[in-house]
Homo-oligomer: A and B are copies of this chain.
Amino acid sequence: MTYSIGQVADKLDISPYTLRYYDKEGLLPFVDRNAAGRRRFKDNDFNFLEVIVCLKEAGVPVKQIGHFIDLCMTGDSTLHDRYDFLAEHEAQLEAKMARLQHTLDFLRWKKWYYKTALQAGTESIHYLPGTNHVDPAVHAEFNRLVANGAQPKDLGAL
């Protein structure tokens, strides 16, 4: 069973342009061509495509993905390099997810900030008296609510 570039594009929800671009960048050396020069993807190619899509989602630049594919094509002598490559990007992704968790926490505190302002009808309830400057005690209050067991995700809900 083989697949045209359009069929693969549909399956992966990627444009054929993008697939050709990846090919140009060396990400698809495993893809066969028919007599007319058209790409014919095999079932096994989806194992590679899955890895490419995964690394893309992980934020790995196309050039580095190309390097990984090179390692794959070289054979068993590169098994260790491939392991290290994945371990490195696993670590980077873990770090990124930790950062995003902090970002999410921050968004939730700000949502609570606006929820309470909205309920008061004015943001100025959060200001230091006589200024336009946010009272640091407001954030401390939010943290106190969380420390007392409230879910940050719920505190901001209207």
Contacts and interface: CB of A to CB of B under 8 A. Distances in A.
B58 A100 contact: yes
Interface in A93-127: 93-94, 96-97, 99-101, 103-104, 106-108, 110-111, 114-115, 117-118, 121-124
Contacts of A99: 57
Contact of A90 (B76, B107, B134): B107
A58 B111 contact: no
Interface residues of A, number: 45
Contact of A111 (B83, B97, B122): B83
Interface stretch (A4-12, A21-29, A42-50): A42-50
A117 B82 CA distance: 11
A104 B76 contact: no
Nearest to A56: B103
Contact of A97 (B54, B104, B132): B104
Contact of A133 (B44, B54, B90, B106): B44
Given A58-B100, A97-B100, A100-B57, A107 B86 contact: yes
